[in-house]
Chain A
Amino acid sequence: DTGVSQDPRHKITKRGQNVTFRCDPISEHNRLYWYRQTLGQGPEFLTYFQNEAQLEKSRLLSDRFSAERPKGSFSTLEIQRTEQGDSAMYLCASSPLEGRGNQPQHFGDGTRLSIL
């Protein structure tokens, strides 16, 4: 168990550029989640997958945000046409399939996005 891995750890980009983040969950975990955390706030849920199926995406912040998990393993989160307000820490988490929502989620160390 190597934990949840996120890449890159830091991303600096100019406003208007597209960015993509990768998350590798714990290998035996079927569920994968994306959250956004801004300074002074708790993580805010964006979307989640069960295997390759994206079961909830209504919380994505705008249509500029999209996520994929094509083979049910790693996931990517893409932000198109970045804006200043997108600057935040993007966290990925994974959990086992058992139970409706009572399994603890294991978090990666996040990708910190800074928009110039």
Chain B
Amino acid sequence: AQSVAQPEDQVNVAEGNPLTVKCTYSVSGNPYLFWYVQYPNRGLQFLLKYITGDNLVKGSYGFEAEFNKSQTSFHLKKPSALVSDSALYFCAVGDNQAGTALIFGKGTTLSVSS
């Protein structure tokens, strides 16, 4: 069965420091991987995706993610965190069993302190 794991419920970083939000996946075949961000009482906003190609994917708002096939990971990174990056982050994988649906992780709350 396909799945996504986000091992950290919360990540705390100081403004200006680099941040990493971890994600591992389990899929059969080639994975379609995504990161989304959610602000309180809002829907999810797309940040970036990996389909094929370069293992380092660049996305919106200065975020990037590193795909590692051997470790089945797709960690979200940003070189310098902003207080405004504080939000709930979801990793997702395309569901091969349900057409084009997404399977989401439980989410990681990022808190950036000033």
On chain A, the residues within 8 Å of B106 by CB distance are 40-42
CB of A113 closer than 8 Å to a CB of B: no
On chain A, the residues within 8 Å of B100 by CB distance are 31, 33, 48, 95, 100-101, 103
Is A109 touching B43 in the complex (CB atoms < 8 A)? yes
CB < 8 Å neighbour of B102 from A6, A105, A109, A112: A105
- CB-nearest residue of chain A to B52: A102
Give the number of residues in A that approach B within 8 Å (Cβ atoms).
31
CB of A85 closer than 8 Å to a CB of B: no
Alpha-carbon separation in the docked complex, A109 to B104 (Å) = 17
- CB-nearest residue of chain A to B49: A104
Give the number of residues in B that approach A within 8 Å (Cβ atoms).
27
With contacts A109-B43, A110-B43 known, is A104 near B34, CB below 8 A? yes
Minimum Cβ distance to chain A for residue B80 (Å): 25
On chain A, the residues within 8 Å of B96 by CB distance are 101
Minimum Cβ distance to chain A for residue B4 (Å): 8
With contacts A42-B90, A42-B107 known, is A56 near B98, CB below 8 A? yes
On chain B, the residues within 8 Å of A45 by CB distance are 95, 98, 101-103
CB < 8 Å neighbour of B98 from A59, A103, A106: A59
Is B43 touching A108 in the complex (CB atoms < 8 A)? yes
Alpha-carbon separation in the docked complex, A91 to B102 (Å) = 13
On chain A, the residues within 8 Å of B101 by CB distance are 33, 45, 48, 56, 59, 101
Is A106 touching B99 in the complex (CB atoms < 8 A)? no
CB of A8 closer than 8 Å to a CB of B: no
Alpha-carbon separation in the docked complex, A33 to B44 (Å) = 13
CB of A55 closer than 8 Å to a CB of B: yes
Is B94 touching A101 in the complex (CB atoms < 8 A)? yes
